[in-house]
Amino acid sequence: MEFFERFAIPHPDPMIYASMVAIVLVSIAIVAGLTYFKKWGYLWDEWLTTTDHKRIGIMYLISALIMLFRGGADAVMMRVQLSSPEMEFLNAQHYNEVFTTHGVVMIFFMAMPFVIGLMNYIVPLQIGARDVAFPRLNALSFWLFFAGAMLFNISFVIGGSPDAGWTNYFPLASNEFSQSVGVNYYMWALQISGIGTLMTGINFIVTIFRMRAPGMKLMKMPLFTWSALITNVIIVFAFPVLTVALLMGTFDRQFGTSFFATGNGGMDMYWANLFWVWGHPEVYILILPAFGIYSEIISTFSERNLYGYKSMVASMVLISLLSFFVWVHHFFTMGQGALTNSIFSITTMAIAIPTGIKIFNWLLTMWKGKIRFTVPMLYSVAFIPLFTVGGVTGVMLAMASADYQYHNTMFLVAHFHNTIIPGVVYAMLAGLTYWWPKMFGFILNERIGKWAFWFNVVGFVLAFFPMYITGLDGQARRMYTYSESTGFGPLNMLSFAGAGLMAIAFILIAYNIFYSIKNSPRNVGDDPWNARSLEWATHNPVPEYNFAITPEVNSSQALWDHKKKSHTLFKGKIDKIHMPNNSGIPIIMAGILFVFGFSFVFSIWPAVIIAAIAFFSCMLYSSFENDHGRYISAEEVKETEEKFGGAKK
């Protein structure tokens, strides 16, 4: 029995037991359902072993949406707890756990897979490629992300949630102050999914450099692809820092090193440094693809060329460089002295310049455009003013001396939600809606979409703008309650109402998906938005080989050229097409790493060693395997093209 005691929950609560039961029931239902409908084979052949970038993209997106709801549930719990003074819904410990999992889930398991999912689906299509450079590695990336996400998500029912914040500062995160295995989960869940992200980075850089269609010079890539390229470069440089930080953190907690301890030569602030050397570039990993998506959408629905293409690219490159030199702004108050603070204060403010350039470019793109207010466009238009507020408050925070007032208050919480929600989340919703017909061949209902949009925007403003005020008045972040006499009550109640509206927005979005699957017309054609870039030049939904003939392009708006300047995209005749084979190795390797991570969390060393050996055996097996892919014959391609409504010109 002693062995099993370690899996008990350290701070039990009826809600946690209820979730436990729910998880077990849902799992049983899924397994039973798959068995009853005999869908295991289909699932395995078509999805779990796929190496098709489109299917992998869709799996990322599904996971991201599920995680959005998990993180959203955490958010609602926090807002309930803070809705009025001295609330007794969550106690201090549970509040700690909830804000920690909320942050981690939203950043790592919602925003990241959302961004990477859209990149997966769209980038190869935008550059006229048949897949990514390393399809099997791509599948491995996905499954590692998924294993990490699952590991993180079981923590609260097996052994206890992490509770030291998504930034996981030491010494709070050390064994002394975080006694459950929660923080171990944090370390391994992020380590495993982080390695997957790093491989995505490598994969997409090679894809974008080496697999572009003839004629697509770097400066003729659609902007979303540009943003993906820059993002992936940031990933490759930033993620190894996180890898080392997590490793050192694991060692401190499980092998008794004293890197981040307060004695024995250790230095607790070093964790904060490492974390933000990765962490600040990370926020740009999230926002740059969002910028790319907005650029595509704004230009499409204004029916105009994107204004200032070159300055758009240049400003993204500049942002990516600067993003590595600002990390200290996250702890101005921790005593590094005036000179250091001033330098980082200036580098931080400098980021506002390229960002501002982009804002003006979007505005000038819309200037005199024929604007169509579709759902994706609504999100993009709302993004511009809201994100500007986020940027301006960022510059306020960047003033080191003033930051002594705002740091670790609700003002900061308002700032980063103000950048991340209108910035990243709206972009993901806009991108999902925009490319939905690309993926599934029908449009999401616009009416429900617009309702969801308004709930989202009004909810956002109500939920977060009051925090600027209470923050300036001194309401601290990460505090589970406050007293009546502070006077924070009414504004927090307003935030709660806003959060409620946002919850309705997301429920509407989910409902819209079900509604549209059933009711949306399927005859939207291949170009439902009158779009401009290459991904819209093939069929909707996309056949597995993407393009029957490799397109030839001469600008970033290949389809527009085709439509307006009668440029022929597809020259030559249909030939056989080389495609990657499916493989079960990626999911098996990720499963093994899941076991590895889980056993490591609980220090079950024999299982750790066996899993490690199994993992390397899989690598060895792959090395000896001779997989040359397969060919789709020209006849088969022609047949498919007919089925999709005839070959493209």
Q: Which residues sit at the interface with other proteins, rule CB under 8 A?
A: 133-134, 198, 201-203, 205-206, 209-211, 236-241, 243-245, 247-248, 251, 255-259, 261, 263-267, 270, 274, 616, 620, 623-624, 626, 628
Q: Is 632 helix (H, G, I), strand (E, B) or coil?
A: strand
DSSP state of 218: G
Q: Chain centroid to CA 60: how far?
A: 9
Compute the least distance from the CB of residue 227 to ligand HEM, in Å.
Answer: 13
For Cα atoms 535, 541, 544, give the angle at the middle one, nearest 5 degrees.
85
Q: In this complex, which beta carbon is closest to other proteins, that of residue 236 or of residue 399?
A: 236
267 binds, among other proteins, Cu ion, ligand HEM, none (CB under 5 to 8 A by kind): other proteins
3-state secondary structure of 49: coil
Of these partners, Cu ion, other proteins, ligand HEM, none, which one is at the site of residue 259 (CB under 5 to 8 Å by kind)? Answer: other proteins
Helices 375-398, 268-302: crossing angle, 10 deg rounding: 140
Alpha carbon 155 to chain centroid, angstroms: 21
Listed residue (136, 222, 229) closest to 435, CA to CA? 222
Phi, psi dihedral angles at 632 (to 5 degrees): -100, 125
Q: Pick the binder of ligand HEM from 23, 87, 154, 352 (CB under 6 A).
A: 352
Cα–Cα distance measured from residue 212 to residue 218, given in angstroms and rounded to the nearest whole number: 9
Q: Write the burial class of residue 145 (CB in 10 Å: 0-12 exposed, 13-18 middle, 19+ buried).
A: buried
Measured from the CB atom, the residue of 416 and 511 that comes closer to ligand HEM is: 416
Nearer to other proteins, 514 or 624 (CB): 624
Task: Pick the closest to residue 596 from 583, 613, 582 (CA basis).
Answer: 613
Can you name the residues that pair with 476 across neighbouring β-strands?
A: 409
280 binds Cu ion (CB under 5 A): yes
Number of residues interacting with ligand HEM: please give it, by CB under 6 A: 25
Closest CA to 377 of 308, 296, 307: 296
Q: From the CB of 275, what's the least distance to Cu ion, in Å?
A: 11
Question: How near is the Cβ of 289 to ligand HEM at its closest, in Å?
Answer: 11
Residue 391 interacting partner from Cu ion, other proteins, ligand HEM, none (CB closer than 5 to 8 Å by kind): ligand HEM
Nearest approach, Cβ of residue 233 and other proteins (Å): 9
Residue 407 in the binding site for Cu ion (CB under 5 A): no
Which residue number places its CB atom closest to Cu ion? 280
Is residue 395 part of the contact set for ligand HEM (CB under 6 A)?
Answer: yes
Say whether residue 329 binds ligand HEM (CB under 6 A): yes
Tell me if 70 contacts ligand HEM by CB under 6 A.
no
Cβ of residue 422: shortest distance to Cu ion, in angstroms? 17
CB of 591 to other proteins, least distance (A): 21
Residues found in the chain: 649
Among 57, 391, 459, 597, binds ligand HEM (CB under 6 A): 391
Query: From the list other proteins, Cu ion, ligand HEM, none, which binds 592 (C-beta under 5 to 8 Å, kind-based)?
Result: none
Residues 155-214 that bind ligand HEM (CB under 6 A): 167
Give the span between the Cα atoms of 440 and 55, in whole angstroms: 11
Q: How many CB atoms lie within 10 A of CB 506?
A: 19
Q: How many helices (H) and strands (E) does the chain have?
A: 22, 2
Question: Residue 348 interacts with ligand HEM (CB under 6 A)?
Answer: yes
> Is the Cβ of residue 8 or residue 402 nearer to ligand HEM in the bound state?
402
* Contact status: 406 vs ligand HEM (CB under 6 A): yes
212 is a site residue for Cu ion (CB under 5 A): no
Q: Residue 206 binds which one of Cu ion, ligand HEM, other proteins, none, with CB within 5 to 8 A depending on kind?
A: other proteins
3-state secondary structure of 577: strand
- Choose the contact partner of 248 out of Cu ion, other proteins, ligand HEM, none; CB within 5 to 8 A by kind: other proteins
Would you count residue 298 as binding ligand HEM (CB under 6 A)?
Answer: no
Residue from 351, 414, 432, 463 touching ligand HEM (CB under 6 A): that is 351
Q: Give the residue nearest to ligand HEM (CB).
A: 394
CB-wise, 128 or 194, nearer to ligand HEM?
194
Exposed, middle or buried by CB within 10 Å (0-12, 13-18, 19+), for 63? buried
Residue 543 binds: one of ligand HEM, Cu ion, other proteins, none (C-beta under 5 to 8 A by kind): none
Q: Which of 496, 480, 487 is CA-nearest to residue 87? A: 480
Rounded CA gap, 492 and 475, in Å? 10
Residues 160 and 163: their CA atoms lie apart, in Å, by: 9
Q: Which residues contact 471 (CB under 8 A, 6 or more apart)?
A: 406, 409, 410, 411, 412, 413, 414, 477
Toward ligand HEM, which CB reaches closer, 134 or 406? 406
614, two tokens: 């199994």
Binding segment toward ligand HEM, per CB under 6 A, in 63-71, 172-180, 400-408, 467-475: 400-408
In angstroms, the CA 234 to CA 439 distance is 27
CB 579 within 8 A of CB 629: yes
Handedness of CA 286, 289, 295, 300 (dihedral sign): negative
Q: Which of other proteins, Cu ion, ligand HEM, none does residue 423 bind to, with CB < 5 to 8 Å depending on kind?
A: ligand HEM
Q: Count the Cβ atoms, other than its own, within 10 Å of residue 393.
A: 20
* 287 touches ligand HEM (CB under 6 A): yes
112 is a site residue for ligand HEM (CB under 6 A)? no
Q: By CB under 6 A, is residue 283 in contact with ligand HEM?
A: yes
Closest CB to other proteins among residues 243, 405: 243
* 526-to-3, 534, 537 alpha-carbon distances in Å: 59, 12, 7
- Nearest by Cα to 554 from 575, 571, 529: 571
Nearest approach in angstroms of CB 416 to ligand HEM is: 3
**Eight-state DSSP code of residue 425:** I
Nearer to ligand HEM, 125 or 190 (CB): 190
396 Cβ contact list (under 8 Å, min separation 6): 402, 406, 415
Q: Which CB atom, from 247 or from 338, has the smaller least distance to other proteins?
A: 247
Identify which of residues 229 and 351 has a Cβ nearer to other proteins in the complex.
229
Q: What is the amino acid identity at position 229?
A: L
For ligand HEM, the closer CB: 119 or 424: 424
Q: Under the rule (CB under 6 A), what is the footprint of ligand HEM? A: 167, 283, 286-287, 329-330, 348, 351-352, 355, 391, 394-395, 397-398, 403, 406-407, 412, 415-416, 419-420, 423-424
Q: Under the rule (CB under 5 A), what is the footprint of Cu ion? A: 280
